[in-house]
Copies of this chain bind each other. A is one copy, B any other.
Amino acid sequence: MKLYDCQMAPNPRRARIFIAEKGLGIPNVEVSIIDGANLKPEYLAINPWGTLPALQLEDGTVIAEAPCIFRYLETLHPEPNLLGRDAIETARIGAWERFAEMNGMGAIGEFFRNQFEPLADRALPGYAGVKTLPALVERGRQRAAWFYQQLEGRLAEVEYLAGDRYSAADITALCAVDFGKAVGLGIPEGCAQVARWHGLVSARPATQV
């Protein structure tokens, strides 16, 4: 098994943390998004969508998309459980994991990609030829503010994003927040609960990847 990865990018980090939490040693193959290696024929032959991460099995089968990699690895390696122990918990973790992806990753990615010169014709992950739009920088900022506000409200009620224990929802939210910190949309002033949760989750050895 190997993980097609990009060390600098927030989405592959979701898979790296998940793998580390499971205690699995899966070798990484670096595919540089900045260099456009993810849109070159060599990588498109592996994952035609050009996105990272992707997990390749021994028989050559490729599993794309972070949540699909999560589900596959959890089925093979059920412990520690990160996706839910029953139908209700699975739904709750899944919904918060998607929330972090759509609203956190989505917002911060929009803010960042639309002003980052090396990605000028790659404003969306996996696509060639999508031009940046300056107005989306501001839209991304607006959406990220909403994301942090929702996160703060949620974390005032619960210790971890999906409830009383750590889960895949925390992994994706952490990757979004750390991406935000790196590109100028870090935890806003006054988001004490987000800061509290960020310290808690960041203290886990598996998140240091």
Query: Whose C-beta in chain B lies nearest to the C-beta of A49?
Result: B99
Q: How many of these chains are in the complex?
A: 2
Judge whether A183 is part of the interface by a CB distance below 8 angstroms.
Answer: no
Interface membership of chain A positions 43-80, coded 1 if the CB is closer than 8 angstroms to chain B and 0 otherwise: 00000110000000100010111011101100110000
Judge whether A163 is part of the interface by a CB distance below 8 angstroms.
Answer: no
Which residues of A (164-204) have their CB < 8 Å from a CB of B? none
Judge whether A25 is part of the interface by a CB distance below 8 angstroms.
Answer: no
Chain B residues lying within 8 Å of A124, measured Cβ to Cβ, are 143
Judge whether A8 is part of the interface by a CB distance below 8 angstroms.
Answer: no
Contact A98 B143 (CB under 8 A): no
Judge whether A209 is part of the interface by a CB distance below 8 angstroms.
Answer: no
Residue of B69, B76, B91, B146 touching A68 (CB-CB under 8 A)? B91
Contact B72 A88 (CB under 8 A): yes
A61→B90 CA distance, assembly (Å)? 13
> What's the dominant secondary structure at chain A's contact region?
helix
Contact B71 A88 (CB under 8 A): no
Distance in Å from the Cβ of A190 to the closest Cβ of chain B? 19
A48→B136 CA distance, assembly (Å)? 24
Residue of B48, B75, B92, B143 touching A150 (CB-CB under 8 A)? B48
Contact A75 B63 (CB under 8 A): no
A92→B49 CA distance, assembly (Å)? 14
Contact status of A90 and B71, CB under 8 A, knowing A127-B146, A142-B129: yes
Contact B61 A88 (CB under 8 A): yes
Chain B residues lying within 8 Å of A143, measured Cβ to Cβ, are 124, 127, 130
Residue of B92, B99, B130, B150 touching A139 (CB-CB under 8 A)? B130
Contact B75 A90 (CB under 8 A): yes
Contact B99 A72 (CB under 8 A): no
Chain B residues lying within 8 Å of A129, measured Cβ to Cβ, are 142
Chain B residues lying within 8 Å of A69, measured Cβ to Cβ, are 91
A153→B49 CA distance, assembly (Å)? 12
Chain A to chain B contacts (Cβ below 8 Å), 5 pairs? A49-B150, A63-B92, A68-B94, A71-B87, A71-B94
